[in-house]
Structure formats: structure tokens, C-alpha cells
Structure 1
Amino acid sequence: MRGGLAMNRRPLFKFRQAGIPTLRSVKIKILLCGCVALTLLAISNRNCGSSPSLLGWTGDVPSIDRYSSPRGRYAIVMNTWKRYDLLKKSISHYASCPRLDSIHIVWSEPDPPSVSLQRFLNHVVGLNSRVGPRIELIVDINKKDSLNNRFKDIKDLKADAVFSIDDDVIFPCSSVEFAFTVWQSAPDTMVGYVPRMHWVNEKEGKDKYIYGGWWSVWWTGTYSMVLSKAAFFHKKYLKLYTDEMPASIKEYITRNRNCEDIAMSFLVANATGAPPIWVKGKIFEIGSTGISSLGGHSETRTECVNKFAAEFGRMPLVSTSLKAIDSRNVWFW
């Protein structure tokens, strides 16, 4: 009898042994299928710019706002100086961006642009206007050479948003479109790609400040300015800069050929009491040199910060650690 039981149990034990690896393999296959499905879903959301993202806000806006209203499009104000090849590359690139309304080139050279240069720029803008809304190209010729010219009030500007950009930096249109959408959510503040900061110079007192460059932002994770070499702001600040910026500050900028971007940051912060917004974006610098490469640049900028704070009667800049990131272009955010 016992022998019979032993013989009956042996096949059952073998069946259980065989069933364990079978069950494990089924579980592994289910997990693998789930991982593959989630991966495909994530890739689908990353590649579909117009569909909602499962991970967060995609930056999409209602279609009624996209082209029809003043806030649905933006104007580029580009500062340039005797770098015609860079100007051609920049205009050729930005003219293809979908929600661009107009391009205003700030020209402060003693000689007007050549006929061949104007013909080229009109040609590339005209080509892109064939496949979308007409883009207006205007060369604003200034008699006086001053960095203040880039913030001169523009009459009859249709778009509310101004994208201030230098001729030697290029951002992908998708990145510009995202920054523009961020600006639409906070149209009174500055939204840009190049953050800078200030902090109190404790050695000299609470009313003395130090200008901090990119490495200061990277180290501390905070900023209080976004530079106008690549930033969105409302067109009303052009008029405010032209009419209300203290003459002493504008004269200082003209004389030293520096710090007009800091002055605009002061102006907007003073008007809003709020910090700017830093947008993450890949920058392509197509120029070789600039004033930031000159010796004593940080010291000059520190002098500007203290000069402007004294003229405003206070420090209007507000520090923040906020950064806007397009969730469609990152795996984790």
C-alpha cells in the first residue's frame, strides 16, 4: 500500500517541477510584452507633436489663437553689425518658422544695406511666405550707432510678442515655437534661453551686487535675468524702454557698448515684480567672437548691475529656479 502511494506521488512531483519553469516563463513574457507596449506608447507620444502628452503639458494652444490673433504670432527683432553671412544664415533659418509674423533687422551701420543683400533677404523670406502666411521684412536703419536701437519702439507692430535675437545664434524652429507658447502663458514676463544671475556682494554691503555668468547659474541652480540675445517679451516694453528708461542709463549703454540686455531685464522686472522664465533649448552659435569674450567682461557687467540698481533706486531683479522644459523631447522630466 505504501509502495503504491510512493509510486503515485512521484509523477505528481514531476508535474509540479515541470509547471514551475512554465509559469515563470509565462510571467516573464507578460512583463516583456508590457515593457514593449509602454516603450512603443512613449515613442508614439514623443513623435506626435499635436497629440496630448501622457507625461505633462505639451505646449499646444487652441487653433483659434495660432494665427488669427496678435498673440497667435510673433515678430523677430534681430540685432546685427557687419556680419552679412551670419545675417543671411539667420534670416534664412527663422523665415521658415511657422508662427513668425515679421522680421525687423536693427541696422546701426553708417552705410545702408547693399542692394544685393536686401535682394537676397527678400528672396528667402518670399520663398517661405509661399507655403504659409506672408512674412514682412523690414530693415530699420538708425542714424546713431547705439545698442539702445534694438529696443526702439516699433510703430504699427501687429504681433504682441517680440522675439529679440542676435544674428549669430540659431535655435530650431520647434524650440522657438515652444518658448513662444511658454510666453503666451505669461505674456508680461521675459521668456528666454540664456539665463544670468546677480547676488549681493556681502563684502561691500547689502546694496552692492555681483553679476553672475552661466557657470554661476549652473552651480547655484538659480537665475534672475534672461538675456535679450534670445528672449521673448511683450512689445509694450519697447515703448516703455524708449519713453521711460532713464536717459543716464541709455547714455551709459551707448558709451560703453554693453549691458542693454541687463537694462531690459531691469525694466521688465521693475514693471512686473516677477522673475523671468528660462526655457531649455539647444543653442547653435554661428559667430566666432562677441563682447562676452573680451577681458574684464564680468567686471563690466557687475558695474552695470550696480549702476542700474542705483538709477532705479532699488534692485528689481527677482531670483528663481524655474525652468521650462518641453516634455515631448525628454524621457524623464
Structure 2
Amino acid sequence: MGRRLRTFVFGAKTKLLCVALGVLFCMWFSSKIGYIMSWNTHFPSSVYSPDRGGYTVLINTWKRSSHLKQSVAHYASCTGADAIHVVWSESDPPSEKLKDHLNTVVLKKSRSTHKLDFRFDIYEEDNLNNRFRPIEGLRTDAIFSVDDNVIVPCHTLEFAFAVWQTAPMTMVGFVPRMHWLGEERTGAVSYKYGGWWSVWWMGIYSMVLSKSAFFHSKYLELYTNAMPPSIHQYINAERNCEDIAMSLLVANTTDAPPIWVKGKIYEIGSPGTSSLHQPHHYDGRNKCMNDFVSMYGTLPLVSTNVKAVDTRHQWFW
């Protein structure tokens, strides 16, 4: 009986020691991972401060007033939002009723300690390049570019902003895409555009789409005034691929990959043009990739398998 008791106690102590060592190892490993990734994983629940400047939400809209109202109301409630700019490229300017409604919503929803700057950036020409025009009087370096039908929860957006602050020259976003090398029968090199399922299957990406992504405000100037005019003309004619062009521009400037932030985002209403339900979507994107490469003379995109995860909201990481 005494021997059995000693064996039981010894075994229990051994198991307890193993568990303690396992916990210590996990703590050590997680700290090392945080160091290796060069991201600050210890940031406050609210990352906004006047010293950092917050971020400007740049909403691209097109004849979807109901979507725009929901989007403005949501982003006005996010703590780090310093300003909201609506890119308006419709033939008719926004009505006074719409402007008054949105101004009231912004005042009601804003949680900032100072007045949130809300305005329409109105363009007479319907041109996708308008979403990346330079903006006068910006108070922030950080731009959060988003479509009017895309909602990113505020806590997820604040985390992405914190990630962007560690690498402000790259793009940080929620919608990853990839490219890969193909070869035509003639032997000429070509490239393929890969959607979400390609990213999921391959485990790599080289772009994050501007439908929900952070980037530095200087890229608005570079996109408009430094990028080859032939790309502007192409985008205006095809009404497509301005997001690919921005990814190419940032990659060409940094020689670095973007950063994909894991987090749920929501689309209001029906799926957008990137949906699998859109016929010939990938044919058009493939064409854009190869035409842009011809105009640039190179493909600057850099692939990566890194993903930023907010461990405070994950059971397993």
C-alpha cells in the first residue's frame, strides 16, 4: 500500500512538472515569435493617440447611398478614425439631404476626443483612378482604403492599424491575393492572378486588395503623379484593376511584400465584382497583370506566407 501511494504521488508530481515546463516553453516561444516577426504584440486596446495621428478612412462609393450611410456610421464609431473622406465620382453631386444626414451621423457616432473630419471628395469624371487622388489637408499619414459595402469591425481595424504602424511603407490589409508564373505555348512568360482559393490552397500571397487596406498617404501622390500614365489610361478604359496597380506601385517602391491581417470582414448586400459569380472575372484580372507588367517592364510583387493575428481574440494561435 505504501509503495502504491509513493508511486501515485511521484507520478502526479511528474505530470505536474511536465505541465509547468510546457507552459513555460509556450510563454518563451510566444515571446520569441513576437520578436522574430518584428511586430509589437503588446499594444493597448485603443491604439489611437494624437501623437500617432490616427488614420483617414477613404471610402469609395458608387450609387449606393444606403451602403454609404451604413459604412460612414460604422467607421465614425471606430476610435482611431481621425477623418472620413468619401470619393464621389458620380455625374450628379451628393444631395444636401445626404450630406446633412451623414454629417449628423458622424457627430453622433464619433468616439474621438476631437472633431472627426468628414467630407466628400467630389470628381466630375467617373474614373476608378479617383479613389487614389492626392487629398489636400490630410491630418494623418495612414490611409484606410475601403469600398462602401465593406465593414471591418472596429477592434479588427485597430489591430490592423497597429500592425501598419510597425511597417508604414507597406500595405496592410484583409483581402489577400496572389500571382504565379505561367508559360504560353509560344514560350513567352505570362502571369496568372490568383483569388482567395488560390491563397488558401498555396498558403502564400503577394497582394492585399485596396477594398480594405492601410497604406501611407504618400502613395496617393505617387499613384497619381509618378505611375506611368499608360496605366491610368488603361484602368479608366477597362474600369478594372486599380487595386492591382496600387499593389504593384507599393511593391515597386518597397521591394517588400504586403501584410495580411487575419480578421472577419463583412460585405453589405450582394457580392462585389471579385465574386466567383462574376463571369470572366479572372480572365480580366489575368489580362491586367500581364498588361501592367509590360508597362512597368518588370513584376515587382513579392510573395510571402506571413499573417498577422490578434491573439487576444483567438482560442488557438
* Structure 2 match to 1:178: 159
Matched to 1:299, the amino acid is: D
Aligned partner letter, 1:167? D
Which moved further from structure 2: 197-206 or 259-268?
Answer: 197-206
Q: Answer yes or no: is 1:234 the counterpart of 2:199.
A: no
CA offset digits 1:231-280 (Å, max 9, x no partner): 00000000001111211111111111110000000111111111111110
Q: Tell me, what secondary structure is at the counterpart of 1:208?
A: strand
Provide the residue aligned with 2:256 in structure 1.
274
Tell me how far apart the structure 2 counterparts of residues 303 and 130 of structure 1 sit (CA, whole Å).
Answer: 44
Partner residue, 1:311: 295
**Which residue in 2 is equivalent to 1:285?**
267
Q: Distance in 2 between matches of 1:261 and 1:88?
A: 23
Provide the C-alpha distance between the structure 1 equivalents of 2:31 and 2:79, rounded to a whole number of angstroms: 21
Determine helix, strand or coil for the equivalent of 2:274. Answer: helix
What is aligned with 1:113?
94
Q: Which residue of 2 aligns with 1:16?
A: 2
- 1:54-203 matches, cutoff 5 A: 56=34, 59-61=41-43, 66-69=48-51, 71-129=52-110, 132-203=113-184
Q: Indicate whether 1:252 and 2:211 are aligned.
A: no
Distance between the aligned counterparts of 2:269 and 2:89, measured in 1?
19
Change (3 A) 1:27 1:55: farther
Q: Structure 1 residues 292, 96: CA separation in 2 closer, same or farther (over 3 Å shift)?
A: same
CA contact (8 A) 2:53 2:82 kept: no
- The answer for unaligned runs of 5 or more in structure 1 is 1-14, 43-51
The aligned residue for residue 5 of structure 1 is: none
CA contact 2:53–2:139 (8 Å) conserved in 1: no
Query: Which digits, 9 at most, give the CA deviation of each residue in 1:199-223, with x for residues without a partner?
Result: 1113354631111111111110011
Q: Cα distance 1:214–1:62, how it changes in 2: closer, same or farther (>3 A)?
A: closer
1:143-192 alpha-carbon deviations (Å, 9 max, x no partner): 00011000000012110000000011111101000100111000000000
Using the size of structure 1 for normalisation, the TM-score is 0.82
How many Å separate the matches in 2 of 1:252 and 1:27?
71
Displacement after TM superposition at 1:18 (Å): 8.4
Q: In 1, distance between residues paired with 2:175 and 2:181?
A: 21
Shift of 1:286: 1.0
Q: Which residue identity lines up with residue 255 of structure 1 in the other structure?
A: A
For residues 173 and 44 of structure 2, the distance between their equivalents in structure 1, rounded to whole angstroms, comes to: 23
Residues 103, 137 of structure 1: 8 Å contact kept: yes
**SS of alignment partner, residue 106 of structure 2:** helix
Kept after mapping to 1: 8 A contact 2:178/2:194: yes
Instruction: Flag the 1:148–1:23 CA change in 2: closer, same or farther, 3 A.
Output: same
| Deviation for aligned residue 1:66 | 3.6
Q: Which deviates more, 198-207 or 78-87? A: 198-207
5+ residue gaps, structure 2, are none
Distance 1:326 1:62 in 2: 12
CA distance in 2, matches of 1:66, 1:193: 20
Q: Larger C-alpha radius of gyration, 1 or 2?
A: 1
Amino acid at match of 2:95: S
Q: Distance in 1 between matches of 2:115 and 2:263?
A: 27
> How far apart in 1 are the matches of 2:127 and 2:59?
14
CA distance in structure 1 between the aligned counterparts of 2:81 and 2:50, rounded to whole angstroms: 12
> What amino acid is the match of 2:221?
K
2:280 equivalent in structure 1 = 296
3-state SS, counterpart of residue 165 of structure 1: strand
- Is the alpha carbon distance of 1:59 and 1:135 closer, same or farther for their aligned partners in structure 2, counting shifts above 3 Å? farther
